[in-house]
């Protein structure tokens, strides 16, 4: 019997982002950085997430679209004042940021509206799972733009005025792709799977043992490194061969879709070497399609 059928109540179609999502993520990055081979990078991403949590110049939500996604992950959705969020983020980071990031902050501060719009388009294509690898010359700029756009869309997602219906592979709030799936805990949601949006942090219900990329209900396999973190696995699909990380909160309630995905890149390397492409973008991973 499916785990989903064991839960008598109808599962919530979507879960809005928690008000403290970025602060909680910052703490998780800091925890994961301790003793990790990628410690300095994870520690910086903790600083970036903390800066996201401190943003006050967030644009008002645009008009709601007539159909889902209600705030599409497209540059045309952005209010004209969104660069204020980006520049405030840069100001919060500037003193402690690594030299490449400080250079990116300066470059973005002097960029034209057209240049910022183009960067936003690229990042939002990444969020929809349609982007490519950034060039080395603009990787830091895209990282900062991604963080600003995450803050904007997450702010809007927390005030969605309509009841959203779960979709198959993309976020019903913004149309973003999932960064990972999460097996929830608790009396009401325990053992149910929700996909976590890479852009707006909305989670939406998805039946377990079904591919999140091609919707196949054929053979799904779970992979975990022998010495890997508890609760972090990957699902591969025999039909399309792709994979997505899956986090089991019952094994570690502190697991975060963005932070723990990046702290388990050794699993991505192993799956890539086995011929499995990644199907979920992480906007903090500079080549999410690798």
C-alpha to C-alpha distance for 68 and 60, rounded to whole angstroms: 19
pLDDT at 289: 46
Q: Is 27 helix (H, G, I), strand (E, B) or coil?
A: helix
Mean pLDDT of the region 235-247: 94
pLDDT at 287: 55
C-alpha to C-alpha distance for 100 and 134, rounded to whole angstroms: 15
What is the tens place of the pLDDT at every residue in 43-86?
A: 999 999 999 999 999 999 999 988 889 999 999 999 999 999 99
What is the tens place of the pLDDT at every residue in 3-33?
A: 454 445 678 999 999 999 999 999 999 999 9
Share of the chain above pLDDT 90, in %: 74
Q: Where in the chain is the domain with CATH 3.90.1670.10?
A: 3-14+166-273, 20-157
What is the tens place of the pLDDT at every residue in 137-168?
A: 789 999 999 999 999 999 999 998 778 887 77
pLDDT at 9: 65
What is the tens place of the pLDDT at every residue in 92-145?
A: 998 888 999 999 999 999 999 999 999 999 999 999 999 776 676 789 999 999
What is the tens place of the pLDDT at every residue in 181-215?
A: 999 988 788 889 999 999 999 999 999 888 888 88
CATH homologous superfamily of 3-14+166-273: FdhE-like domain (3.90.1670.10)
Distances (CA, A) of 97 to 2, 48, 70, 171: 47, 9, 34, 31
- What class is the 20-157 domain? alpha beta
Report, in angstroms and rounded to the nearest whole number, the Rg of the chain calculated over CA atoms.
18
C-alpha to C-alpha distance for 125 and 176, rounded to whole angstroms: 9
Long-range contacts of the stretch 203-206 (C-beta < 8 A, 24+):
203/14, 203/15, 204/13, 204/14, 204/15, 204/164, 204/166, 204/167, 204/171, 204/172, 205/11, 205/12, 205/13, 205/14, 205/166, 206/166, 206/168, 206/181
**The pTM is what?**
0.93
Long-range contacts of the stretch 24-28 (C-beta < 8 A, 24+):
24/256, 25/49, 25/256, 25/258, 25/259, 26/50, 26/52, 26/53, 28/254, 28/255, 28/256, 28/259, 28/260
């Amino acid at each position: 019997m499916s785990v989903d059928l064991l839960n008598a109540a109808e599962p919530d179609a979507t879960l809005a982002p928690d008000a403290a999502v970025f602060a909680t993520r910052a703490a998780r990055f800091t925890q994961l950085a301790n003793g990790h081979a990628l410690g300095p990078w994870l520690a910086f991403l903790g600083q970036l997430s903390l800066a996201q949590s401190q943003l006050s110049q967030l644009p008002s939500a645009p008009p709601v679209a007539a159909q889902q996604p209600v705030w599409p992950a497209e540059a045309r959705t952005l209010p004209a004042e969104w660069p204020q969020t980006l520049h405030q983020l840069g100001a919060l980071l500037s003193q402690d940021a690594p030299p490449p990031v400080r250079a990116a902050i300066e470059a973005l501060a002097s960029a034209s509206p057209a240049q910022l719009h183009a960067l936003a388009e690229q990042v939002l294509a990444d969020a929809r799972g349609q982007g490519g690898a950034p060039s080395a010359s603009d990787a830091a700029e895209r990282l900062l733009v991604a963080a600003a756009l995450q803050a904007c869309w997450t702010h809007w997602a927390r005030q969605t005025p309509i009841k959203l219906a779960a979709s198959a592979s993309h976020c019903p709030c913004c149309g973003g792709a999932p960064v990972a799936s999460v097996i929830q805990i608790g009396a009401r949601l325990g053992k149910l799977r929700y996909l976590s949006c890479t852009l707006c942090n909305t989670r939406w219900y998805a039946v377990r043992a079904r591919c999140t990329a091609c919707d196949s209900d054929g053979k799904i396999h779970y992979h975990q490194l022998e010495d890997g973190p508890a609760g972090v696995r990957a699902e591969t699909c025999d039909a399309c061969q792709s994979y997505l990380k899956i986090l089991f909160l019952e094994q570690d309630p502190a697991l975060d879709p963005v932070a723990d995905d990046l702290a388990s890149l050794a699993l991505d390397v192993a799956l890539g070497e086995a011929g499995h492409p990644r199907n979920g973008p992480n906007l903090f991973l500079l080549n999410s399609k690798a």
